[in-house]
Each structure stands twice: as structure tokens, then as C-alpha cells.
Amino acid sequence: MRIYTKTGDKGMTRIIGGSKVSKDNIRINAYGTLDELNSLLGFTITTLTNEPEIQAELEQIQQQLFDAGGDLATEEGKRPYKLTSEPVAWLEDRIDIYADEPPEIEKFILPGGTGAASLLHMARTVARRAEREIVGMQKVAASNQEVLKYVNRLSDYFFAVARVVNFRAGKKDVFYKNSELVFRNKKK
């Protein structure tokens, strides 16, 4: 297998369906950011040596990110989309489980704590950037709508998991000192 195609030498690439597009195309930016997120997760996994369940979940998310990126790289109707609503529901389930573990918060917290939690917060912000890029892409090109839902839930998942990682390590959340009350307990 040849790694290089030389198509990029002129600033172009092919998307699934055969069209050539510029490497700064909004579609390329969207799935490129998912690729960046996937790489960040690969490194994050290496820091979670005491959390095999979370490592396994992050690896599952890496698989799902490949599906999501492939769907964004696909021209409408050229092949069936891979990402379904099931990973969105799975993320929601995991978020609900993790949200109940650390103490409730009502204010914004500063990203940080352990190294692993800090990386999860970085993943959260990269996911939010990907979400913004997907929204922009979907204004000009049809794509799998489940990808946007998935990436939206993914950033919430990273927030919840970062808090759990810190909690399990005995690191307390550091509150943003000028924060208003922003989170409300839905159970009250």
C-alpha cells in the first residue's frame, strides 16, 4: 500500500464518492478535527492506567469517531452511513452513570486536576470545535445528522468522565470564582 498519492501536493484531496475538494474545505476541517480528537484520545488512554473501564470506553469512542469521520467524508448517497443513534444513546447512559459519582456542582469549574482529567477536558474542547465545524459543514453539504448529535453528547461525556477521574484520584474541583449558578439539580 502506498501512503502517498501526491494529490495533496496541489492542496486537493478526494472525499468518499470521488469528488476532489480543497484541503481547506469545511468538510475536510470537520472530519480532520475528529481525527485530531481521535489522536488525543489515543494519548489520553495511555494516562488512565488505573481506569481500565474508561480506557475501554475511550477505545470504543475511537472506533465510533472513525465511523463519524467517514460519514462526514462521504458525499450524500455514495454509501450507507455507519454511525447510528445507538452510540448517542450509549453516551447518554454513560454520562448519567458518571454524573452521579462525584459531588454535584452548581458553578463552572476550571479544567484541570490530574493529567488524565486535564487531557479529557482538552478532548471536550476539541469535540466542541468539531461540533462547530460540523454545524458549518451541514449548512452547505448534506451529511449524517447522527454525527452532530454524537459529537454534542461526546463533549458532555468528556466533562463527566474528567470529573470522575479527578474524584477517584481525590482531586477536588476548582470552581471558577466569578461563576453564577449554572447547573441545576434536575432531581429536586
Q: Which three cell numbers stand for residue 76?
A: 450524500
Confidence at residue 188, expressed as pLDDT on a 0 to 100 scale: 46
Confidence at residue 110, expressed as pLDDT on a 0 to 100 scale: 96
Question: 29-60: per-residue pLDDT in tens?
Answer: 999 999 999 999 999 999 999 999 999 999 99
Q: Could you give the CA distance from residue 46 to residue 58 in angstroms, rounded to a whole number? A: 11
CATH 1.20.1200.10 for domain 30-69+92-175, yes or no, is yes
Confidence at residue 185, expressed as pLDDT on a 0 to 100 scale: 64
Please state the domain extents for the chain.
30-69+92-175
Q: Which residues contact 44 (CB under 8 A, 6 or more apart)?
A: 58, 116, 119, 120, 123
**Distance, first Cα to last Cα, the chain:** 58
Question: Among 68, 82, 81, which residue's Cα sits nearest to residue 153?
Answer: 68
Confidence at residue 63, expressed as pLDDT on a 0 to 100 scale: 98
Rg from Cα positions in the chain: 18
Q: Could you give the CA distance from residue 38 to residue 59 in angstroms, rounded to a whole number? A: 9
Question: Among 164, 183, 154, which residue's Cα sits nearest to residue 100?
Answer: 164
Phi, psi (deg, nearest 5) at residue 10: -110, 15
Q: Check if the beta carbon of residue 156 is closer than 8 Å to that of residue 95.
A: yes
- Whether pTM > 0.95 for this model: the answer is no
* Residue pLDDT tens, the chain, 188 long: 777 877 788 887 888 887 888 888 899 999 999 999 999 999 999 999 999 999 999 999 999 999 999 999 998 889 999 999 999 999 999 999 999 999 999 999 999 999 999 999 999 999 999 999 999 999 999 999 999 999 999 999 999 999 999 999 999 999 999 999 988 765 54
Chain-centre distance for alpha carbon 126: 7
Q: Could you give the CA distance from residue 107 to residue 115 in angstroms, rounded to a whole number? A: 22
Confidence at residue 10, expressed as pLDDT on a 0 to 100 scale: 80
